[in-house]
Each structure stands twice: as structure tokens, then as C-alpha cells.
Structure 1
């Protein structure tokens, strides 16, 4: 049917793209009802949107954006990367932060480790389809990488600057920034006590700097949100 529509519209791809993108099938949620799970568990009938993880570039840009470290400038030379002594390849931060991944310099021998772990296509051969994997290095990178943890701290600083030190308001704001929605009542009831417990634990270690203890606790929470499926997957 799409092939017939393409011919009928004079082979114009824009019309086909508009048709697909405005269709009910394309715009539906990935949420699965009990009836859908029973009738069409494999989604052969396209009754829901398949759950999709952010691609490598979008994930990196999202991490930078929530941390307030995304430089929105366009054009100019590509942004440099640096190979560290431990073998990791990272982008070099500019005076205003990091620019979007599309402006990152691509070298065959120096590919950003974050992008490579999350299936950035290798362009030395021709890439006709982007690979999709779900492997341990992805989770380990987001949990343990120093740059990611620093971005979580910047995210926490952003939250504090916008809503102050109240744990409830911080939780709501972190959800709003990272996930684009307000946490539900159950999420809020589960998350706020965790943040308060983290504050107490850090306060016992940083007895002479309670403000730093609160920042560390919020940084831990922001790091968890940045590692959540809700942040990494499109629904």
C-alpha cells in the first residue's frame, strides 16, 4: 500500500514521510494492555509502538542537556576528542560545555567510548543498519565513568539553583528535567525517603560541610535518574 501511495504522489518522499509520521500507528504509546499482550504478544499487528532505546548520539546529548552542559552553537570545525591513558576516548570540553554529538570529530582510531558502547555505527565499512545491543559495558559506563558522574553532579547543581534544598521539590524538578514529567504519587513516596537517607549518610561522612553532603546526596539521585530506563528509552 505504501508503494502504491508513493507512486500516486509522484514519487515524493516527503509525502510518504508525512503519511507515516502522522499515522496512528507511529504516534501510539509503547504501553502494553493485558488484551494486547494476550492477543498479539509479538506486536505483529502493530498495536503499540516498540520500546526503543535512545541512539548513541541522542543519549549523549540528553546527558549533557539535563546537566546544563550542552553547548547549542552550530557550525565551525568538529569538536576534538582525546584518548586517555586508560584507553577511553572522550570529547574535549569547550568553554561553554560540549556541543551536540553531530559536531564531534570522527576518527577511525579514536571513536568516543560512550558512543561506541551504545552502538555508534562503524563507518569504515558501509553501514546499512545501525546495530542494537544490550550489553554490560553500557551499564558499567553509565554507572562508573567519571565524566558521567560529573554530569550527574552538574545536574544536581542545576536542580538546587532552580528549587533550593527541599527534598520533595528537588525530586519533582529532577524528574521534570530528565523525564519531562512530574513523578507519580508512588514514585514520589519512594524517592523522597531515599534522598533523605542519602543526605543522612553523606552528612555522617562530611560532618563539617552539610551543604556538600546534601549536594552529594542529590548527585547520587540524579545519577540514578540518568541511569533509569525511563531516561534511556522512548515510550
Structure 2
């Protein structure tokens, strides 16, 4: 489908989405016709080449980047706690927590953007400030300190054993991101903080995106 990643860019206009969809439908029809005729069909050779070229980056996204992006969402001061984001999430990754209840994103989040794009109040935002705070709390300088402490306790430099060093860093990073996000969620209980964070968020000014022909009722059926 046309890109809906409105955490980073404006939602596509209806005209642009229609062009992308038309091209994709043509390619799908060509592949399907070949399959039904018992013929071989080759498509996406260029995409395969770049996919292999970027395989390392893709792997890092799957094991870490995706989990980091899952913790960048927050609900601003216009959130009413209606729970629609929780209801439509295909991974059941959103739950309501706190008083008053506000959405909390778990590691199950795939950043599909259904919540941010269908929120009736456009209350769900992604803030560079939140990203910087989580990154700082989870990696710098605490990660370096933790690695140095673990190396001293073990009697050797963890960085000298790449797999072991990576495993320790990975486990620490996941725990640290979860802890940092939990603290930020508590802090966002302050309406003033939510207000300020929202005003510093680029997504507040973004156009939301909904797929052509897909309604909220369709998502509820999934």
C-alpha cells in the first residue's frame, strides 16, 4: 500500500495514493495472470538487489529499530481516552494506562500507524524530543557504564567477544528503552508536559493517511 508512515512524513494525498495503488495493482494482476496460466513470472529484480544490499540494515531494524520506534508514540493533551487506538490495533499492542487512562505502546507495536492515522482527535504524536530522551536514557552514557561494569566483573572486555558483547548490549537496551518509556509515560501524566511536547512535535502538523477504500469499520473487522 502507499506509505502511511506519518511518524516521519506527511500522509500521501488521495491523488498520489491513487497513482501508487494503480501501479501496484497492475503488477499484481500481471503476476496473477502468469500464475493462473501456469507460467513463470519474474518481478522485483531491482528490489531484490537492493534488498540484499540493505539486508544488514533490515536485520538491525527487525531486532532493534522496530522496538525503538514502538516507543516513540504518545498522546497529547487533546486525548480523551476513548480507546479507539487500542481497539483497532492489529497487534493488540496498545493498552490504556494511568489516570486518566492514556494509550501506552508495548513492544508488540509494528508501527503500522493505524492509531495515529485514525485517531478522531489527532491526539497521537511522535516527538523528536521523546526520541532523543529515550535514546539518551537507553544508550548514552548508561550503556557504556553498564558495559564497563560488566567487563570489570567478568575480568575481560565484553567488546572483545562480539556475540557476547552484542547480547549484553541488546538485553540492556531493550530493558532500558522499556524503563525509559515507562518513566516518560508517567511524566506525560502532566498536562503541561503533554502540551509542550505536542507543540514540539512535527506530526502535529502532518496530514494523516487512510488507505483509499478502507474505512474504520474495515479495520475493526481484522
**Which fold has the larger relative contact order, with Cα–Cα distance below 8 Å and residues 6 or more apart in sequence?**
2
TM-score w.r.t. length of structure 1 = 0.27
Q: Of Structure 1 and Structure 2, which has the larger fraction of its residues in helix?
A: 2
